[in-house]
Structure 1
Amino acid sequence: YWVANLAAKTLKQIGSAQPVSSLMFAKFSPDASKVAYVSEHNIFSEDLASGKVSKLTSDGTKKLINGTFDWVYEEELDCRDGFRWSPDGKSIAYWQLDANKTRNYLMLNTTDSLYPFTVPVEYPVVGENPSRCRIGVISLNTGKTTWMKVPGDDVQHYIPRMEWAANSSELIIQQLNRRQNESKIMLCDAQKGTVKTVSAETDKAWIDAKPEAIGWDWINQGKNFLWLSEKDGWRHIYNISRSGQEKLLTKDAFDVISIEKIDEKNGLIYFMASPENATQKYLYKVALNGSGKATRVTPNDESGTHSYDISPNGKVALHYFSNSVIYPTSDVVSLPDHQKVGGNTVPRRSTIPINKPEFFRVKTVDGVTMDGWMVKPNNFDSTKKYPIVFYVYGEPASQTVTDSYGTGFNRLYIGSMANDGYIYASVENRGSPAPKGREWRKAIYHNIGSLNIRDQAMAAKEVLKRSYVDTS
C-alpha cells in the first residue's frame, strides 16, 4: 500500500517493515492521520506524519487470527476485512478467531512448483467444531483490548456482522447460532463489554446474514436502522429502533431483492424488486416513514434486468440495463423521475439477430410453477423433432433463468448448439434465490438432492410433451 499526497505530489509506502505482500485491508482513520492494516494475523496502526508504527495486537498466528478470518467465515459468511475504525479514530473494533482446535484440511497445489505440495487450510468437516470467535475493542492510547461479553457459546455461534453503532461508544453485531436458524442483533458497550439484545428472530429453515459484509443502514441520526427479514413470508424492510421497536415499511406481497439507497432528505428508500416476473429486476421506492405503497421507478417499457449506482445525494444514478435480447447498456438518470441526463440510448428492440431465448413457464404434477427459457435451432420448423439439452444448476446460490444478456449462451459447448440442431433449455427449481417468497427459496432446506432433482425432472417431463422435442 502507498499513500499519495496530492498537494506535495509525494508517495509514502505503508507497512514497509512488514513481509512483502503481507498487508491487508489498509484503511485511513476518520481524520486521515493514521492508517491501520493487518499483517500476518496482527493489526497495526501507522502514523502518517511521524511514520511511527504501533503493533496493536501481538498474539496473532496462523491459528489465532486477528483482523481477518478463517475459511468458514470467508467462504460461507462473506467475511474478509475484520476490523473497523471507531468514528472518533481512538479505537479499533476487530474479530479474533481461535482456530487452534480446528484441524487442517490438506489442499493440493499442483501449479506453483515443479512438484505438487499440500496447503493446510483450517476446515471443520461435518461433526467437528468451527473456530471460536470473539469481538474486541482496542484503545490506540492504551493498547488495551476490551472483549465484548456476547452471550452464548462462542464456538457454536457465529458473528458474521459487526459495525460501530453510529457512535464511538457502542458496537452493533449480528449473531447466528451454528444451525443459522436463530439470529440476534445486539448492541455492545465498547468500554464495558456489556451486551444487550435489540432484536431476535427464528426460522424453521435458516436466516441469512446481513447481505452487505460492511456497513449498517442507520437512519434518524443513528436512533434507528433498516433491516431485511423474511419472517412474514416475504423479504421486507423493517425500521428497528435501538430499543427494539419494529415497523414494517414494505407491506406488499413481494420480495425486496436489495436496498439500493436511503434518501433521508426526501424521505425515500430505493430498492430492487420484481413483483410480477422473478427473472427480472427493477428499481422501486417507498416512503421512509412507511406510509403508502411501494411504486416502480424503472420505466414500464424497459423489460429486463436493471441495476443502479445511486449518487450520495440521491438525485442521479448510473443506470445499467440488459435483457436476453438486448446487449448491456448504461445511461445516467435523474431520480425519482428516471429521466435521462446523459449516457447511451437504451435500446427498445433486440440487438441479437438470431437464436433468441424464449421464456416460458411450466406447471409440474406437484403443482409447482417454474420459469424457464429455451433456445431453438436455426431455421426451426415446428413440424420436425429436435434433441434437447437442459442446463441445470439447481442449488440455492444462483439463478439460471434471468432476463439478462447472456441467458441462453452455452459456454460449456464448443460451437453453437443452435447451429448443430439442438434445443437448449433451462428451468428454475425451488430453492433458487429467485424473488418468489420465503417458501420458494427455503423449500430446499434438508431437501438438497431430492426436491431440486424432482423439480427439474418433473419440469423436463412437461417440456418433453411438446411436439417438436425428440424423446427417442
Structure 2
Amino acid sequence: MKKGIGFIAIFLLGFIGNLYSQSQLTLPDIYSNGVYNQNRFGPIRWMKDSKGYSSIEKSTIQEGDDIVKYDALTGNRTILISAEELIPSGSSKPISVADYVWSEDNSKLLVFTNTRRVWRYHTRGDYWVLDLKTRKLSQLGKGIPATTLMFAKFSPDASKVAYVSQNNIFVETLGSGEIKKVTSDGGEFTINGTFDWVYEEELSCRDGFRWSPDGKNIAYWQSDTRNVGTFYLINNIDSIYSKPIPLPYPKVGESLSAVKIGVVSIEGGETKWFDVPGDPRNNYLARMEFIPNSQEVMVQQLNRRQNINTVWTGNIQTMGLTKILIEEDSAFLDVHDNIRWLEDEKFFTWTSERDGWLHLYKVSRDGSQMELITQGDFDVERISHIDPANGYVYYIASPENFTQRYLYRSLLSKIGKAERITPVELSGQNAYQISIDSKFAIHTFQNTTTPPVYSLINLPNHKEIRMLEDNQELKDKYSALDLNPKEFFKVDIGDVELDAWMIKPKDFDPEKKYPLLFYVYGEPAGATVQDSWGGGDLWHHYMARLGYVVISIDNRGTKTPRGREWRKSIYGQIGILASYDQMNAAKQILKTYDFIDSSRVGIWGWSGGGQMTLNVMFRYPEIYKAGLAVSFVSDQRLYDATYQERYMGLLEDNQKGYRDGSPITYAENLEGELMIIHGTADDNVHYQSFEMLVDKLIKYNKQFSMMSYPMRSHGINERENTSLHLRETMKTFWLRSLPAGGR
C-alpha cells in the first residue's frame, strides 16, 4: 500500500515537473534543442491517374528511404520502391532521397541525392534513375565530376535525361549510358543551362533549359557574365591566409549579364540563337517555355526598368520571333508562373493587374483577344490548379481579411462569381496540392496558434478523407506554454488603415506601463502581419515573457493581397513612404494604448527590416529610443540592380529617391541605442553595407554596438551554435537598452 502511494506521488511530481518544464520558454529549446520542431509531410507527387500519391518515408526494415504510394480513397499503402532497391552496386547503404521526380508515364524515377548548396538552395549533387520495369538502378553522369549535376530532367518519352554540369548541358541515353555534351563553351564567364546570382535571387530563375515536346531539341539560356562587377567575400577563418570568394553581382546602375536563348539538337552541333530585340545587358529574359505539342517557345522579356513585359513566340526551326503581347505598368511588373495552354493550344492563361487587382485572364495564341477569368475587387494571391478538362481554375484569395488565405474557384469558360471552397471554420491560412483531375487535394491548414495540419480532402466539397499529419505533439507543447495569443488589429493613420498584431506580456497589467518592441519588415518582398504559424513566432513570445509588448505593422507596399494601388504606392520611394507609415502608426499606437511607455520604444528587423529599422531610428529619433538592425542595406546603391531598380527605377532617373531612401544618408541623426549585426559571408546584402554605415557613424562620433558573424550568410545560421548565440546577443541588447517589465 505504501509502495503504491509512493509510486503515485513520484508519478504526480514527475507529471507536474514535466508540465512546468514545458511551460518554460527558453532560447536553447527554441534554437538549439529542437524542442519545437514541427513534423513535415511529403514531398508528395500525385500519380498520373490521380488515384493516389507517392511520398518519401523512412524504411522500417533498414536505414534509408522507401518511395511509397497511397490510394487516395482507401488509404492503402504500397511500397513502390524499397530502400533496398536504392542500394547502389558495391555499396551496403541506400542512397538518401533529397527529392524525386517521376517520368511522364510514371515508369521511371529520378532521384536527387548527395546535394550541395549553390547560393540559397541545394541545386547541385548526384542523380540516379530507377526503372520500375527492370528494377535497375543507374547513376547518371558517370565520368563527370561527382556532385556537379544540376536540374536533371527526363525527356518526354523518358528514354533520356538531360542535365547541367559545370555550366554545360549533357544528354544521357538511359538504355546505353551514352553521354553527349551538347554545349561546350560553358566556363567561368559563360553559363549554359543555369543562371547567375541575380537571376536566381530576384527572378526565381535557376533551372535554365527545356526539352522540346518531341524530345529532339533543347532550348536553353546562356549568360555572359564578363562585364558584371565582381564582389569579393573574404574567408578569414578556415585557413591561416584569407581566401577571396568572387561573386559576379550587378549592383544598382551597373552592367547586367548578357543573356540569350538558343536551341541545340540533342545530338549536339551548333546552337541556333533567337535574335531578341534590345540590348541583352539592359533587358531580362525572365521566362521561356515550350508551347505544348509545337516547335515554338514562349519568351517573356522584361526591360531593365521592369515595367514592360514583352511576350514573344519563337519558332525553333526558323528561329523567327513574333510579338504577341505587351504588359505595361507605370510602376513595376512582377513575373508570374501561371501560364496554362487551353483548347488545343489556341489560348493561354495570363496573370495581370490591369484592372487594379491581380487576376487571371484568357488570351488567344496571337494575343489579339483577352478575357477576364477571375473577377472581383480582390487579388488572386496564387494559382493552385488549372483544370481545363473540368473547366475550373482553383486559386488562393482572401477578399475580407488580408492576413488569411482561402481556396476559391472560377469557371475558365465564362466570368462568374468566385466560389469559395474552404469552409468558414478553417480561419487562418490554407494551401492545397490538387490532383490532376481536381477530385482530391493535400490540404495544409495553419494559423498563429496551430502548426501546419496536413489532410487529404475531396474537392469541391472539402470533405476530409483522412488526417495525414496533425503536429499534435507540437500543438500540445505550444499550448502548455500558456502564451498570450497574437491580437490582430488595425491602425488608422489617416491615409490608410494598416494591419497589425500585438503580443502582451504574460502577467499583463493594464494599469502598468510596458516597453514596446516593434518588429518590422516593410519591403515589397514580404509581410509580417499574417495569420500563419511561422514557427509559433517563439522569439517574440519569449520577448513578451520578459516583459515587452511586441507589435508588428505592415506598411503600404508590403506583399499583401490589397490590390495594385497598395503594392505600387512605394514605387520610387522605398524606405521613404514605409518609414512615414511606420512612424505614423507608432504615434497612433502610443496615443491609443495607455499601457505603453513612450520612453521605452524600440524597433528591430532583418534584411529589409534592418534597413527600415535604421531609417526610422535616424529619421524619427524622438519616437524610437533603441533599434537593432540585422543583415541590412545601408545604401540602396549597394544592393543588386534587379531588385532595387524594380522598385526604385533607374539610378539615373531617381538619384534623389535612392539618396533619401537610404538610411546612411541620415546616420548623423542617431540619438538612441543602436546595435547592428551582419554576417561577413552575406552574398545577398554584402558586409560592405555594414562597414560603410560603421564608417559613417564613426565620422559623426555616434556610439553604437556591433556584432559580426564570420563566414555566415544572410540568414546568419551556419556553423555551430550560431542561431542561439545570435538570439542571446539580441536579448542582452534589449535588456540593457530597453529595460523590460511593467512599471
Length-normalised TM-score, structure 1 = 0.94
Question: How far apart, CA to CA, are the structure 1 residues paired with 2:532 and 2:252?
Answer: 37
Contact kept? 1:102, 1:129, Cα under 8 Å? yes
Q: Does 1:278 align with 2:278?
A: no
**Which residue does 1:252 correspond to in 2?**
376
Other-structure match for 1:391: 519
1:198-253 per-position Cα deviation (integer Å, ceiling 9, x unaligned): 110111111011247xxx42222222111111121110101011111110111201
Q: Is the 8 A contact 1:65 1:97 kept in 2?
A: yes
Q: Note the C-alpha offset of 1:116.
A: 3.1
RMSD: 2.0
Q: Deviations over 1:123-167 (max 9, x none)?
A: 222222201111111122462322112122222110111000112
Q: Distance in 2 between matches of 1:4 and 1:376?
A: 55
| 1:40 aligned onto 2:166 | yes
* Residue-by-residue CA offset, 1:299-341 (whole Å, 9 max, x unaligned): 0121111111111111010111111122321211111111111
Match of 2:483 among 346, 354, 365: 354
User: Structure 2 CA distance, aligned partners of 1:190 and 1:432?
Assistant: 40
User: Partners in 1 of 2:536 and 2:544 — Cα distance?
Assistant: 10
Question: What whole-Å deviation, never above 9, does each CA across 1:402-431 have from its counterpart, x for those lacking one?
Answer: 0112387253x6x82222221111010011
The structure where strand makes up a greater share of residues is 1
Secondary structure, aligned partner of 1:416: helix
Structure 1 counterpart of 2:566 = 440
The aligned residue for residue 596 of structure 2 is 469
- Give, in whole Å, the separation in 1 of the partners of 2:337 and 2:331: 17
The 8 Å contact of residues 528 and 553 in structure 2, kept in 1 or not, is answered as yes
Q: Say if 2:442 and 2:457, in contact at 8 Å, map to a contact too.
A: yes
Select the structure that is richer in helix: 2
Specify which of 319, 326, 330 is matched with residue 193 of structure 1.
Answer: 319
The one-letter code sitting in structure 1 at the alignment partner of 2:137 is: L
Q: Which residue of 2 aligns with 1:371?
A: 499
Match in the other structure for 1:342: 466
Q: CA deviation at 1:88?
A: 0.8
Contact 1:408 1:425 in 2 (8 A): no
CA contact (8 A) 1:3 1:14 kept: yes
Q: Which residue of 2 aligns with 1:209?
A: 335
List runs of 5+ in structure 1 lacking aligned partners. Answer: none
Segment of structure 1 superposing worse, 415-424 or 387-396: 415-424
- Kindly indicate whether the alpha-carbon contact (under 8 Å) linking 1:375 and 1:408 is maintained by their aligned counterparts in 2: no
Name the structure 2 match of 1:19: 145
The equivalences for 1:188-337 within 5 A come to 188-211=314-337, 216-244=339-367, 245-337=369-461
SS at match of 1:461: helix
Alpha-carbon spacing, 1:110–1:299, altered in 2? closer, same or farther (3 Å): farther
Q: Note if contact 2:486-2:501 (Cα within 8 Å) is conserved in structure 1.
A: yes
Q: Give the letter aligned to residue 238 of structure 1.
A: Y
Question: d(CA) in 2 for partners of 1:119 and 1:345?
Answer: 42
Work out whether residues 161 and 210 of structure 1, in 8 Å CA contact, stay in contact via their aligned partners in 2.
Answer: no
CA distance in 2, matches of 1:345, 1:406: 17
Q: Residues 107 and 346 of structure 1: is their aligned pair in 2 closer, same or farther, counting only changes over 3 Å?
A: closer
Q: Could you tell me which amino acid in structure 2 is paired with residue 250 of structure 1?
A: T
Q: CA deviation at 1:23?
A: 1.3
How far did 1:89 drift? 0.5
Percent identity, aligned pairs only?
49
Partner of 2:531: 403
Contact kept, 8 Å, 2:213 with 2:295, in 1: the verdict is no
CA shift in 2, pair 1:108/1:211, >3 Å: farther
Give, as a single letter, the amino acid of the residue that structure 2 aligns with 1:358. Answer: E
Residues 91 and 140 of structure 1 are in contact (CA less than 8 Å); yes or no, is this contact kept in structure 2? Answer: yes
Q: Which has the higher contact order (CA 8 A, sep 6+)?
A: 2
Greater gyration radius: 2
Question: Could you tell me which amino acid in structure 2 is paired with residue 387 of structure 1?
Answer: P
2:582 match? 456
The answer on whether the counterparts of 2:289 and 2:298 sit within 8 Å (CA) in structure 1 is yes
**Counterpart secondary structure, 1:342:** strand
User: Does the CA-based 8 Å contact 2:220-2:262 persist in structure 1?
Assistant: yes
Q: State the 1:31 CA deviation.
A: 1.1
User: What is the rounded CA distance, in whole Å, between the counterparts of 1:262 and 1:25 in structure 2?
Assistant: 25
Q: Is the 8 A contact 1:23 1:39 kept in 2?
A: yes
**Equivalent-residue separation in structure 1 for 2:532 and 2:198 (angstroms):** 32
Q: CA offset at residue 112 of structure 1? A: 4.9
Which letter maps to 2:595? Y
CA distance in structure 2 between the partners assigned to 1:423 and 1:141 by the alignment = 65
Amino acid aligned to 1:242: R
Q: Name the CA shift for 1:104/1:344 in 2 (closer, same or farther; >3 Å).
A: closer
TM-score if structure 2 supplies the norm length?
A: 0.60
Task: Give the conservation status (yes or no) of the 8 Å contact 2:381–2:395.
Answer: yes
CA pair 454-316 structure 1, distance change in 2 beyond 3 A: same
Partner of 1:423: 549
> SS where residue 596 of structure 2 aligns?
coil
> In structure 2, how many angstroms separate the alpha carbons of the residues matched to 1:357 and 1:208?
31
SS at match of 1:464: helix
Task: Tell me which amino acid in the other structure corresponds to 2:399.
Answer: P
Tell me, in whole angstroms, the C-alpha distance in 2 between the residues paired with 1:229 and 1:437.
Answer: 11
Aligned partner of residue 433 in structure 1, secondary structure: coil
